[in-house]
Amino acid sequence: MNAALKDLKPAKVWFYFGELMNIPRPSKHEEKVSAYLQNFGKEHGFETLADEVGNVLIRKPAYKGYENAPGVCLQAHMDMVCEKNGDKQFDFLTQPIEAFVEDGWLVGDGTTLGADDGIGVAAALAILDDDTIEHGPLECLFTVDEETGLTGAANLHTDWLKSEILLNFDDEDEGEYCIGCAGGVDTTVAINYTTRPVPDGEAAFRVKVSGLTGGHSGDDINRGRGCANQMLTRILWQATDEVKIGLAQIDGGNLRNAIAREAWADIVVLKEMADQFRQLVMTMGEEIKFEYRSTEPNLTIEVEEIEQPACLIDRATQFNLLNAMYACAHGVLSMSREIENFVETSTNFASIKMDGKQIHIATSQRSSVESSKWDAARKIEATFRMIGAEVKHGDGYPGWTPNPTSRVLKVGVDTYKKMYGKEPVVRAIHAGLECGLIGEKYPKMDMISYGPTLRGVHAPGEKIEISTVEMFWNQTLEILKNLK
């Protein structure tokens, strides 16, 4: 076990979380953790199933006296977002996650921690591994690829689950129950380009935006955080207009569901305009840092001289690209008219990459209103169609319609009030949850989502508040006990 977990409570939950920290589980690479879960179920003598995409279902009989209680499914996803700081040497496919305890939090050491949703998987395993817990017929569903496509939930067999109630362990704030979520769709762009030689008499520079907070493109989209891709584009667009730069390389962001924290571009400019270019970057950098002074205190915008690149993007593509990217929306598009302070529709300018032949841009749109979700996606499509780019939309995933009269919600609220002497928050979230897809396949399923407090998910330094894990654990045991 990781030394940082040694004395944490409840011991069994942290033991299994430590096990997961040692198992590589990036999205779309869950083979080892899926095998671990299957072995766990079989070694404990439980009925254990695995499907063709890697989802695992483990069934445990009811505790004595609870045979007639409603069946309950505990659900969590086994994959994790793999993000690291630029200066962190780390291989998510081979190395165990490193963490440390600081001020009551368990913190990923320069990488994501995988508490999203490793802590949910660990809690489910701890319940399976404890014969003293009172519960009805139990199913534990562990899904794959939640973070990059909800593939596991999307491919879930419609005859797999027997439960009437589902407890999803993928919420990030202790003291709340989620009863609804936004749907989403990814919109990707491919732009062909040719190259041209670097003219004589050019100086080469790298412009870099870094130090941003980043975060979840659903939960954090309304927190006023900066998007590195937007900031970099803003500088390059202005520099193209004022000092006629040539663009060689551009790279920013990584995952479609993470707000871009870093972005860089290699450019050339006439040597006699090099000082003007440096001054432009410095001036714009100060302007942007002032605008984001309260939400991005660690923002850094820098320019450094580099060796001349081998070639440049052709002028027409550079012109079209920078104009389209500058026009590309990012952030909150509309707030709910029914729920106070609830984001209804948003879009995330997630990443830009080059492969030598094409420039690839990834965005994601979310909305609790299906028509608004597609309207946002089509606006991104329209922006890039104007420059002749190839635009594709993913299949998308549905939202989860709130049910305020839910039986399990009532049990959860009553249990929480009795245990902690206060009302829990009941809300819908702007992030996507597997509950939407599971509810589509099992429309009679009664569902809530909750969990301990996590911060900085999808970003290096992701952390989980240790004290809330025990609260989440005790709360879950009481819910299971009171669903008799």
Which residue has 């949850």 as its token pair? Answer: 433
Tell me the CA distances in angstroms from 359 to 145, 197, 389, 433, 445, one per residue in order: 25, 18, 10, 30, 43
Q: Tell me whether residue 43 is one of the annotated catalytic residues.
A: no
Cβ–Cβ under 8 Å, residues 402 and 318: no
57 is written with which tokens? 């279902």
CB 210, CB 462: distance < 8 Å: no
- The full DSSP string for 402-442 is --TT-HHHHHHHHHHHHHHSSPPEEEEESS--HHHHHHHHS
Q: How many CA atoms lie within 13 A of 166 on its CB side?
A: 25
* Cβ(480)–Cβ(136) below 8 Å: yes
Burial of 257 (0-12, 13-18, 19+ CB in 10 A): buried
Contact 311, 193 (CB under 8 A): no
Angle at CA of residue 473, ends 437 and 13, nearest 5°: 95
| 67 phi-psi bin (left φ>0, alpha ψ -120 to 50, beta other) | alpha
For tokens 């290699």, the residue is: 266
3-state SS, one letter per residue, for 154-223: HCCCCCCCCCCEEEECCCCCCCEEEEEECEEEEEEEEEECCEECCCCCEEEEEEEEECCCCCECCCCCCC
Q: Which residue has the tokens 């551009």?
A: 250
Measured N-to-C along each axis, helices 274-291 and 228-243 cross at an angle, to the nearest 10 degrees, of 140
The one catalytic residue in 30, 79, 116, 164 is 79
Which pairs count as long-range contacts for 283-286, CB under 8 Å and 24+ apart, including other chains? 284/234, 284/235, 284/238, 285/235
Catalytic residue among 146, 174, 296, 344: 146
Q: 3-state class of 393 per DSSP?
A: strand
- Helix or strand or coil: residue 284? helix
CA distance 433 to 452: 16
Question: Dihedrals φ, ψ of 293, to 5°?
Answer: -60, -30
Residue (of 256, 54, 79) closest to 155 by Cα position: 54
Strand-pairing partners, residue 76, are: 142
- Provide Rg for the chain, Cα atoms: 24
Catalytic residue status for 79: yes
- The verdict on whether omega for the bond into residue 137 sits within 30 degrees of 0, i.e. cis, is no
Task: Write phi, then psi, for 337 (nearest 5 degrees).
Answer: -90, -10
Catalytic center residues: 79, 146
